A and B are shown apart, each in its own frame.
Chain A
């Protein structure tokens, strides 16, 4: 069964960095969100920021692709890296301040990563696959892989794969270590087996592996045979410097900024750089914690 990427929606808080603004010319701006429009009704004050941003992104995706006609067949998978850190720390503050028996119960569910996907399901009446993956920078590829499994099995026809990266206090540390650029980003990718709606890419393969041996990255890169293969355009997201003609080694600062949701940014913006002769786009992501993933798309 052929699986397609049908739509990509991104929201970004661009900050004041001019490079970032240029790079994200196709993204919507978080600053432009109308809070009244996006978050109607009471009870939103305690909701974490990531939930609110995802709510807007999911709403956009549903409206744009008219998914409200078939919500029973829509799955939702979110890919996180640090996104629920603030909720956890906030809850710890509560414990320290009021004691274990007197914490605010409203904040309790937000300490669980999957609550965000659950909350979005409640808001949008999505009663099908609902899952959260948190495995470092390869999380998004794992989420796409799971989505393809469930579409192939016939359980769902569409799957929204979400990823986000928000500002946290702890990023000061990375900032010092890795020249990290502050910013916030949320994206949604619509995956389906429906060839009648907008098709951007066909997903050819997704793989994610642990790095058991240190030399595995080089062996994967070498196996790509990129110099001879002019029909492929390769994107490498990681800290390894690659000197091959048709590998686009992505900007390390930007890559660090977007963490696991860098892929949607690339896909939205890389199109103009790709030579017309290239049919396949191969995205490689390397996580220093110990995994490597690859996604091959067909234009």
Chain B
């Protein structure tokens, strides 16, 4: 598996340009915050996918890209900031087609000829894309899938979370006693998931292994997770089983941990149910405290971080815990710590009760 870190490899933009059809101005726009949400989301996806392909030595390999699939998880809320669309039927049509057009733009620009899939499953989008990529490769339908997620923060997004009363008034502090909600972020993360045979044949560096994954639903409430965390615990157990491991075989957890009262309660109860006494010892890294909740991109970015953690043995810090105490007696660090880790369990939950757990493991050469 190869990965891309959002906003990484900036110095290589010009080099990438030589194989793309995009103008210089377009690259300059990528760093600008003053561009519309519909342009931003396109930029995030195109840049993320290009960097992932570049890192996996695929960007200029048109023959392989013809059979490569592209799975993108998102919340699909790229509503036009130009409010004229309310009274303009043609614009309404464009608005709905826009996410699909992004897929078309990306696949045509880069020559990605496999299945293009948009997975509008909101906050668990990235993990769902990686899980489906794993299934697709295991079924031998394809060798390579570019999987990830992208999302943006706009007025509509703010209105959704504000109306539900789950925006933090300070900053997101997952698992803390006085946590009061989420901080929204935006971005994209993409990984190149490839069969072992194909990666070995191409001689590329393998950064991590997707050991197993599962998809589930807690069927409790549209916006509130089941505080008992029963189904979340079942999903974690199922993912661990699919990776042919036991809970003792998990070294670190990358939780969903948004910082809302109910979400963290659900996840904490699920972690306790799965790991028992070990739940107070196992490493937990709640990165939404530093990156914010990037919605459809969140779990994809966390997958990138998980891969980096496995590579460098460094667990990212959980911020905003200085003035508070952890409600659930978890092993959280407010600074990056060195640990030898071989397996990471990544959780993600979404509106509608969607749950997706993916297990990443260090590739033993």
Contact = CB atoms under 8 A, between A and B. Distances in A.
Given A109-B352, A131-B215, A153-B135, A169 B89 contact: yes
Interface residues of A, number: 69
Given A105-B163, A119-B352, A142 B104 contact: no
Interface stretch (A23-31, A52-60, A207-215): A207-215
Interface in B77-126: 77, 79, 83, 85-86, 89-90, 92-93, 95-97, 99-101, 103-104, 107-108, 111-122
A88 to B, nearest CB: 6
Contact of B219 (A109, A125, A150): A125
A118 B107 CA distance: 30
* Chain A interface mostly: mixed
Given A104-B163, A115-B222, A170 B93 contact: yes
Given A111-B77, A114-B121, A210-B113, A149 B104 contact: no
B219 A290 contact: no
B160 A108 contact: yes
Interface in A78-106: 80, 82, 84-85, 88-89, 91-96, 100-101, 103-105
Given A103-B159, A174-B93, A290-B107, A133 B119 contact: yes
B288 interface: no
A225 interface: no
A171 to B, nearest CB: 8
B158 interface: yes
Interface in A108-149: 108-109, 111-119, 121-122, 124-136, 142, 145-146, 149
Interface residues of B, number: 70
Contacts of A113: 76, 120-122
A124 B107 CA distance: 38
Contacts of B118: 133-135
A209 B156 contact: no
B165 interface: yes
Contact of A169 (B92, B219, B238): B92
B220 interface: yes
Nearest to A149: B135
A118 B120 contact: no
B223 interface: yes
A92 B79 contact: yes
Given A103-B159, A132-B119, A152-B139, A118 B351 contact: yes
B216 interface: yes
A34 to B, nearest CB: 25
Contacts of B33: none
A127 B352 contact: no
A170 B221 CA distance: 31
A152 B139 CA distance: 9
A122 B92 contact: no
A244 interface: no
B358 interface: no
A168 interface: yes
Interface of B: 66, 70, 75-77, 79, 83, 85-86, 89-90, 92-93, 95-97, 99-101, 103-104, 107-108, 111-122, 128, 132, 135-136, 138-139, 141, 155-156, 158-165, 214-223, 231, 234, 238, 350-354
CB-CB nearest 9 A-B residue pairs: A118-B352, A113-B120, A130-B217, A105-B163, A290-B104, A149-B135, A212-B113, A170-B92, A170-B93
7 contacts: A96-B83, A103-B163, A107-B163, A169-B92, A210-B108, A210-B112, A291-B116
Given A149-B139, A289-B103, 8 more contacts: A85-B92, A94-B159, A95-B155, A114-B352, A129-B215, A212-B111, A212-B113, A289-B101
